[in-house]
Copies of this chain bind each other. A is one copy, B any other.
Amino acid sequence: MRPTKRDELVQKALQAFYQNGFHATGMDMLVKETGISKTSMYKHFRTKEDLILAVLRLRDEHFRNWLYRRIEELADTPKEQMVAMFDALEEWFDEDGYKGCMFIKASSEYQDSSHPIHKQSADHKRMLESHFTAIAKEAKLSNPDAIARQLLLLKEGAIVTAHLGHTENPAQDAKRAAITLIEACSN
């Protein structure tokens, strides 16, 4: 299957939602920015919500692929890879147009935990957690679940702090904290 207009729509909608927010981005704005007619959009997605869910699916795929690969490029051993996550994050924060985490944003606009958009955002975080728990196990750290959760707290904190922009280099702060935490459960 070659790239369809549908894929193009989802990709461009991702940009628009990421830069402007979900409620603030209307379907008419999407028509303007994508050049795709509203009729076509509604042939592919029954509602705006369905489109957002597809956007989040794409974002999840792209982000996790990027992060997992980048970490492997930056470090060899599992223990070093957990630290390298924060170098990868710093690269992301430094990108033009960085506007925080799409899933945190989504859960900020669709707050009810029973809302499909909220649920799907939580799923994304869960997948990150299990991935880093696995790495922590490879690294033979004591209490791999706990250290993975702690590092991910630092990650989420760095993401929102980088977006708020009130400290200089949250990725490096998080990295130093991560090193201390990993040290503390290494034997």
Contact = CB atoms under 8 A, between A and B. Distances in A.
A11 interface: no
Contacts of A123: 166
Given A121-B164, A158-B153, A161-B125, A108 B113 contact: no
Interface of A: 19-21, 23-24, 99-100, 103-105, 107-109, 111, 113, 118, 121-123, 125-126, 129, 146, 149-150, 152-158, 160-161, 163-167, 170, 173-174, 176-177, 180-181, 183-184
30 contacts: A20-B111, A21-B108, A23-B24, A100-B107, A100-B111, A104-B108, A104-B160, A104-B164, A107-B160, A108-B108, A111-B163, A113-B165, A122-B164, A122-B166, A123-B166, A125-B161, A126-B166, A146-B176, A150-B173, A150-B174, A153-B158, A153-B170, A153-B177, A154-B154, A154-B157, A154-B177, A155-B157, A156-B160, A177-B181, A180-B181
